[in-house]
Structure 1
Amino acid sequence: MAEAHPFSDKFWDERETWSRDRLESEQLAALKRQLAYVGANSIYYKRAFKEVGFDPAGLKSFDDLSRLPLTKKADYVASVQRQPPWGEFVAAPREQVRRVHFSSGTTAKPAPQFWTEADLTRWADNYARGAWSQGVRPGQVFQCLFTYTWFVGGLGATAGYQRAGAICIPAGSGETERQVHSIYEFGTEIICGTPSFMLHLAETAAKLGYDSAASPVKRIMVGGEPGASIPATRKRIEELWGAKCYDAYGSLEFQTIGWDCEAQTGPHLLEDFAYAEIVDPDTGRTVPDGERGVLVLTHLDKQAGPLVRWWTGDIVSRRREVCACGRTHGRLINGVLGRGDDMLVIRGVNLFPSAVEELIRSTSGTTDEYRIIVGGKLTDAGGFPTGIRLQVEALSDAPADLGQRLSGLIKEKLQVRAEVELLAPDTLARSSHKSKRVIQEPAG
């Protein structure tokens, strides 16, 4: 990028401090340019704009964006099926594309996403901005524990922390014991990975005779799962490592969406990279700041795989007052509260797994590993859940009434019946990537 970075010792980019008026003015101008580009170069959006009679040149305000349809994952997958293997969203000539990453493919065939050289530079710069806001500085040792196999996180984190000046060890998410030894051997000051892996890594360190709280690690960036924005999970990771734990939120489609700063008051949106709408999941209408809704994003600066009104499915709540750190970009209070399709409905009560995690990890006597089981015997005649079963690993010195205490807390705080099964430590499988903590069983 043309701008010199860092902008100052505190801010990576001056755009982080733009006034709200200037930020929104720049967003609207960028949105007009981006929609004109997309409408001219993306097969999918050229057709979509024509179907609703939308002319990007006629965009006058952010409200005009609501005239365009939402873009959902099913739309993207269908476009790839129509024109395999690239699909209809790619907007840059093939000779300008430099990178392809893929979705996980857990619910459908993996779908590709694309980057030009300029996109890759912007991606790294956005990552560096987040790292800088968390206190990362040149010469510090960074060990990346995100996987590099097909997953988008590892290469993005490595490029970003390198751009911020860190000494990078691209370790990946395997060989947990070697990871621990490397932290102590090379004096690793910053690590990143999923919250599940951070907990597992500390557990492994203890088994190897290390005290993780006395390690050289001072900063931990976590992503891929709710974690650092769940107070009890953040507290647990910070206590285990004697380090600050920061939330980072991204996706295949938008990579870096939001980052905790050192104030840890909720991930800052990168509002000069993507325009954010928070909408009611039922009506699609914008909700006021402070209310929960689904995050919808539109690229303002993407060439190869730009998206317009992308339905993330993530439930969030936004605030746009200036943060204590001085940054003016909006924040996602409490991070991602959950995915709309992850929400459980138990006897009419909306239950996010993250709320259960908060109660488990704020209760002493557990190893941090648990599973939520829905269905099975806890269903009514119509096959609908009447409660949840919890499998929770208990420490050897856990209180005898731990199961009753957890069950009571969930009933009191979440208004949901829970049957708790206590398991011995190391019963449940650990994950170095994204843990599967909700298990659906057939009614019976």
Structure 2
Amino acid sequence: MRFLHEKFRPTTSTLHRVVAHAYDRSPMYRKKMQSRGVAPHQIDTENDLPQLPFTTREELGSDPWALLCVPRSTLVQAHMSTGTTGRNPLYVAYDWEDLYTRGLMPLSSDKSVPRLLRIEPGEIVFNALPYEVSVTGLAIHRSVQDGIGACVVPLGKGGFYSEPLKALKMMREIGGDHLFTTPSYAVYLAELAGAPQAELKEMFGLKSIWLVGELCSDALRRRIEQLWGAPVFLYYGTMECGPVGVECAEQDGYHPATNFTAVEIVPLDEPMTDATGAALGEIVVTTLWRYATPLIRYRTGDLGRWDEQSSGSGGCARRLRVHGRLEDVVRVAGKVLHVQDIEQGLLDIPEVSSWFQLRPEGDVLCIVLPAQKGVDAAAVARRVQHWAVTYLGLDCKVEHGPARSYSGGKFMRVIRATQGEIK
């Protein structure tokens, strides 16, 4: 098989080349750099990045072609972000080199971080990610099929033709090795299959499951592992940035796609910490492999921190820990609460449904528990309230809702007053 990406090798000057390209081809980037008095020749290594201005979502949402640095006639693919309520969508486009030369390297090449996906040529990979509008499904498909040489079964994620029952039927009849999907869809497919863990493991025999696109605490990961009887690994990326980091076999933090993505953690205006007391910052990404629509110091809106403890299997000196989105932080009664910490604590209680939701109500946090067969709702509510007082220092309100499951799109753990219940 011909691996199209093998001719591309990043070097220490990759960052300089990308910045110079953006400066020469993009009026937006050139104006921003000139306003800071920065020229491309001053940027050579990641230590020079703080000299450059940030790129924000608001800038990109005002113009679909704001990032474009190549002629439109050379583009071969374009995507729109799935969008956030009340915001303009973002567009990202690719030329052929972005897709099939530089773009295959971050996930599929041992020149970046060694074999992080741990998928072999000839294996069968079920791709239960959306293929329409956004980039995720096609990006994973391309990396696995064209980059590694594995066989991809495009299940999709509940689209017009990708019915969940049909996906389960294909998985049973074809048989396969790996599954890519979102945390909520992994739970939903397992629940829909309606078989005990031992039978699910025998029925599908997956070697691994890879989760993309939604917050996933370690407690939720363990639930999914128990449901499917297979190890679960996390992949971190965004529609705007592409792949940013992947977990190794240790399942303990993301390994950045070294030499293909420059990742910074910048201080927050409002200091925040995670459950361990470690300071969090905003994750800022510069793409080193994309030339059609390069991103320079893009503020992702995601919270994270560096863990300097090295990993033997991942082959890199530090790991990235992602702690949810800044906009999803819950503020109640003067406290700053992180959804990931709450999810971790509540899902450690076996009787709490994986589909619980949070609804901030002024100085009160309401925890909505869906009804479940064979579960003493009152007893679960007491355990949840005790946990909230002990670990959050809050006397939370517990509300019992109707039974629920996956209902399409991205599962929203937090219900905002202006949104109602987001499906």
TM-score normalised by L of structure 2: 0.87
Give the superposition deviation at 1:226.
Answer: 1.2
Who is 2:133 aligned against?
Answer: 150
Alignment of 1:391 with 2:375, yes or no, is no
SS of structure 1 residue aligned to 2:415: strand
CA distance in 2, matches of 1:60, 1:208: 55
- Matches for 1:2-151 after TM superposition, within 5 Å: 4=6, 26-27=11-12, 29-59=13-43, 62-78=46-62, 80=63, 86-106=64-84, 107-121=86-100, 122-129=102-109, 132-151=115-134
- Matches for 1:115-264 after TM superposition, within 5 Å: 115-121=94-100, 122-129=102-109, 132-162=115-145, 163-174=147-158, 175-206=163-194, 211-214=199-202, 215-227=204-216, 230-264=217-251
SS of structure 1 residue aligned to 2:232: strand
Who is 1:282 aligned against?
Answer: 269
CA distance in 2, matches of 1:366, 1:256: 32
Give the superposition deviation at 1:402.
Answer: 0.8
Give the superposition deviation at 1:430.
Answer: 1.2
SS of structure 1 residue aligned to 2:400: strand
CA distance in 2, matches of 1:412, 1:296: 34
Who is 1:331 aligned against?
Answer: 319
SS of structure 2 residue aligned to 1:438: coil
Indicate if the aligned counterparts of 1:44 and 1:88 stay in contact, CA closer than 8 A: yes
Q: What letter matches 2:256 in structure 1?
A: L
CA offset digits 1:269-296 (Å, max 9, x no partner):
1121121110111189xxxxx6421111
When residues 201 and 99 of structure 1 are mapped into structure 2, their CA distance, relative to the original with a 3 A threshold, is same
CA offset digits 1:191-225 (Å, max 9, x no partner):
11110000000000116999323321121000111
State the Cα RMSD in Å.
2.6
CA distance in 1, matches of 2:316, 2:393: 37
When residues 208 and 327 of structure 1 are mapped into structure 2, their CA distance, relative to the original with a 3 A threshold, is closer
SS of structure 2 residue aligned to 1:211: helix
Indicate if the aligned counterparts of 1:296 and 1:312 stay in contact, CA closer than 8 A: yes
Alignment of 1:360 with 2:346, yes or no, is yes
CA distance in 1, matches of 2:189, 2:151: 21
Who is 2:382 aligned against?
Answer: 404
SS of structure 1 residue aligned to 2:186: helix
CA distance in 1, matches of 2:44, 2:256: 23
CA distance in 1, matches of 2:93, 2:315: 30
When residues 90 and 3 of structure 1 are mapped into structure 2, their CA distance, relative to the original with a 3 A threshold, is closer
Q: What letter matches 1:110 in structure 2?
A: P
CA distance in 1, matches of 2:80, 2:93: 9
Give the superposition deviation at 1:3.
Answer: 6.5
SS of structure 2 residue aligned to 1:360: helix
Q: What letter matches 2:25 in structure 1?
A: N
SS of structure 1 residue aligned to 2:404: coil
SS of structure 1 residue aligned to 2:252: coil
| Mean CA deviation greater in 86-95 or 250-259 | 86-95
Alignment of 1:421 with 2:399, yes or no, is yes
Gaps of 5+ in 2: 272-277, 419-423
Identity among equivalent positions (%) equals 26
Q: What letter matches 2:52 in structure 1?
A: L
Who is 2:412 aligned against?
Answer: 436
Question: Following superposition, which runs of at least 4 residues in structure 1 exceed 6 angstroms of deviation?
Answer: 207-210
